[in-house]
Amino acid sequence: MRKLRVGVWLLDNYKPEQGGGFSYYSQMIQSLKDYDFKEAEILFVSNKVNVAFFSKQKVYEIQAKRHIPKIEFWKKVLRRVGRVLNFDFFEPDFVKIEERYFVDVKSELNHVIDVMYYLTPVVVFPNFPFIYTLWDIGHLSMYAFPEVSMNGIYESRQSDYNSYPQKALMVFCESKVGKADAENYLGINRNRTKVIPMFPSEIINSKIVSQRPKNTQSDVEFIHYPAQYWAHKNHYNLLLAFKEVQKKHPNLKLFLTGSDKGNKSYILSVIKELNLDKEVVDYGFVSNEELKWLYLNSMGLVMPTFLGPTNMPLLEAAALGCPVACSDLAGHKEQLGDYAYYFNPLLPDDITNAIITMLLDKNNNVKRHYNNTFTLEIAIESIDAVFTEMKQIRFCWGISDISY
């Protein structure tokens, strides 16, 4: 009996500036390419292969798209013209074209793969058997921050999560806590949710040589927070806590790294209001080499985020021997166990105490044990086991059946 043919969907617009998601995605691509799966073979699939990141990979480009007009483009054109002419264009032909396109793609995919594996929470062809990757259910599991609740985002996420995970052959979750969330919030059958553990980025690799950021003194004493400027990242309460930490550690700096997601100007105004302009340094987006230097030289990573279940920087810090103080999310505790200093992210005093304790232990050379079970190797081995199980499910029907 042949192996299960797994198509891995490639994105054509994923960039390093998108944070930990890109690192997860890029490392997974390379590992899937190199690993010898027991009961599966991998084929990368895309609508567009002229992407430099994948130029050396073997990619199957979907042919059906070449015969389809740019539907969304023409929809926008007709709607714009219609507004000018005060006339509503009838669009059923576009619907038929879209439906015909997906039928053509499905027929084409049937001859090259058995199931599509989406490495990020996106589904392009929902009527072809697929594996869904679930990173978080933040719009349900945490407070209603703007980035998960406003401007139609909540409705969009809810629509996707009420459909795609339930239609998936398997749902890959990044932790046991994530698996429980999928079952509790989304009502997914526990036999279909599988734990594929989160892992640190390639920054822990010895090939990444640390490099001190420009205008940074080599002997500076600092803590750091690598996070994009979202509201849920909770820079606000960290700054209130750091103001108090400064009273006992006046020479300590707080280094912030990460790209702006709409909240940066507000956070900078808070820094100014607290008179922390000289004590808090905003680096913006930094390279892996610079970020590694921060981990290796920091007094500790501080991560007060409200969003879990897990977060990649915690694993990076622990792997590089950097102390960690973080929010007391169940997923964080699953990741780090007794290694981290936990705090309630809503309470600045609690954050302050955790940071001060971490600094005291650092100065006294107190080291905490880290039992690492969140690795890329374990993730790939887990996927191998799931592919073996999935073969027994997917081979229950053939390519010509009309029931899916």
The domains found in the chain, sorted by start residue, are: 4-66+103-199+376-395 (3.40.50.2000), 202-364 (3.40.50.2000)
The kind and range of the H/E element at 133 are strand 130-134
Is a pLDDT exceeding 80 seen at residue 314? yes
Which of 133, 43, 177, 27 is CA-nearest to residue 386?
Answer: 133
Q: What is the pLDDT of residue 21?
A: 75
Tell me the pLDDT band of 105, cut-offs 50, 70 and 90: confident
**Cβ 178 vs Cβ 309: under 8 Å:** yes
Q: Which amino acid is at 302?
A: V
d(CA 375, CA 368): 19
Q: What is the pLDDT of residue 17?
A: 54
The whole-chain average pLDDT of the chain stands at 90
Average pLDDT of the segment spanning 189-214: 95
Is a pLDDT exceeding 50 seen at residue 404? no
**Cβ 258 vs Cβ 284: under 8 Å:** yes
Own/partner contacts of 316-319, CB < 8 Å, gap of 24 or more, are 316/200, 316/201, 316/203, 316/204, 318/370, 318/372, 319/200, 319/204, 319/370, 319/372
Is a pLDDT exceeding 50 seen at residue 211? yes
Is a pLDDT exceeding 70 seen at residue 68? no
d(CA 84, CA 56): 47
Q: Where are the alpha helices (DSSP H) in 162-303?
A: 164-167, 176-186, 235-248, 264-273, 288-297
d(CA 5, CA 111): 10
d(CA 40, CA 397): 17
**Cβ 308 vs Cβ 314: under 8 Å:** no
- Residue 217, token pair as written in the block: 């003194």
Q: What is the pLDDT of residue 197?
A: 97
List the single range of 97-101, 255-259, 292-296 with lowest mean pLDDT. Answer: 97-101
Average pLDDT of the segment spanning 179-202: 96
The better pLDDT of the pair 50, 246 is held by 246
Q: What is the pLDDT of residue 129?
A: 96
| pLDDT tens sequence across 27-55 | 999 999 999 999 999 999 988 755 555 55
